[in-house]
Structure formats: structure tokens, C-alpha cells
Structure 1
């Protein structure tokens, strides 16, 4: 998945769950800067651990986070 698609997907899920970047970073136990870099595309390949934390914060699987329903 490209960083643009991942960024878009995270933004979509944040919007759907009515979460700010700050709220999501706290819920996922990630630094705000890490999440902001992923959403902006500056971190094109986040670690699997980071993806799992984000997916868990949204209560979705990795496939759904990556848009592979």
C-alpha cells in the first residue's frame, strides 16, 4: 500500500470515529509526531508494531486498516 493510501485510510477512520490526531495518538500509545508523519506521508513505511497499534486503536484488523477488507 502506498503512503498516500495509508494516510487517506487513517484519516477516513479517524473521521469515522470522530477522533483528532491527538486523541488517536493517545489511544494508540504513539507519539503525536509519529502519527502526524504517517498521515502526512513523511513516514511511508511505518513498522508493523505501529500499524498494529493504530489498527487496535480503531478496533479493526490490519487488513481493514490497509483497505483490504
Structure 2
């Protein structure tokens, strides 16, 4: 779920991985790894991403009950 939400938000803001990486202060490959679900952002990056997109960290990075209901 996390990677899908990050991808959706990034695309809704019409940002490339590289542009988001510049905003967050990481390399583009890190954004790619987050979106592929290969790595999770650390606490600082989670907060930066959530603040930028104006969502909660919980929404962005934690699965909710509604995500598990088919």
C-alpha cells in the first residue's frame, strides 16, 4: 500500500521521481526503491514526504483497515 500511495501522490502532483528526490533530499534511486517496496523511508524522510504532500504519516506509510477489505 505504501508504495501505491506514494506513486499516486507523486503522479497527482505531476512530479518525476527525480523532482521528488530533490524536494526530499535523497537520490532518485531511493524514491524508486520506496515505490518498488524494496526499502522504507526513515522517520525523517517519512515526515518530509507527508508534509510536502499535506497528508499524515499514518495515511502515507501505514496500512489501514480499509486497505485490507476487498
User: Structure 2 stretches of 5 or more lacking a match?
Assistant: 65-70
- 1:7–1:38 Cα contact (<8 Å) kept: yes
Tell me the matched-pair count: 63
Q: 2:30 matched to 1:11?
A: no
- TM-score norm. by structure 2 comes to 0.73
For residues 26 and 54 of structure 2, what CA distance do their matches in structure 1 show?
Answer: 16
User: Structure 1 stretches of 5 or more lacking a match?
Assistant: none
Where has structure 1 moved over 4 Å in runs of 4 or more? none
Bigger Rg, which one? 2
- TM-score norm. by structure 1 comes to 0.74
Residue 17 of structure 1 deviates from its aligned partner by: 0.8
Match of 1:28 in 2: 24
